């Protein structure tokens, strides 16, 4: 699925099942919350923290998908074409970092 298609699917779902978008501020808060849930799983799975008994049902894939969902909602609400934005961002990074990482002794 392409990003443009995902944006369209989310928009259709919101308008038929979800009734309407939450406002942008609410979605920003939700995005922060979802990123926090991803961070919690990463910290426990790959970091020094351990899982609590209540963490038995964690699902990194699902939490990452929640982040993507809310990001797409915000993009739709604010008129951002994520496909084009991502292309431009990749071009920017490529120009800016053409040799930066290759010359970084910390990465070698």
Q: pLDDT tens-digit profile of 12-65?
A: 999 999 999 999 999 999 999 999 999 999 999 999 999 988 887 899 999 999
Q: pLDDT tens-digit profile of 59-88?
A: 999 999 999 999 999 999 999 999 999 999
Q: Is residue 66 part of a domain?
A: yes
Domain that holds residue 77: 3-81
Please tell me the number of Cα atoms within 13 Å of 68 on its side-chain side.
13
Q: Is residue 10 part of a domain?
A: yes
Q: Is residue 96 part of a domain?
A: no
Q: How many angstroms separate the CA atoms of 43 and 49, rounded?
A: 6
Q: Is residue 68 part of a domain?
A: yes
Q: What 3-state class would DSSP assign to 86?
A: helix
Question: What CATH number does residue 47 fall under?
Answer: 1.10.287.1080
Q: Is residue 55 part of a domain?
A: yes
Q: Is residue 62 part of a domain?
A: yes
Domain count along the chain: 1
Choose among 80, 60, 67, 73: nearest CA to 31: 67
Per the confidence metrics, is the pTM higher than 0.95?
A: no
């Amino acid at each position: 699925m392409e990003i443009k298609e995902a944006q369209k699917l989310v928009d259709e779902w919101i308008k038929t099942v979800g009734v309407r978008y939450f406002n942008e501020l609410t979605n920003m808060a939700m995005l922060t919350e979802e990123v926090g849930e991803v961070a919690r799983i990463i910290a426990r799975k790959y970091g020094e923290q351990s899982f609590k008994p209540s963490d038995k049902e964690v699902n990194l894939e699902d939490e990452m998908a929640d982040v993507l969902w809310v990001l797409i909602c915000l993009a739709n609400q604010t008129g951002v074409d994520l496909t084009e934005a991502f292309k431009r961002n990749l071009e920017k990074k490529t120009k800016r970092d053409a040799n930066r990482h290759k010359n970084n002794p910390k990465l070698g």
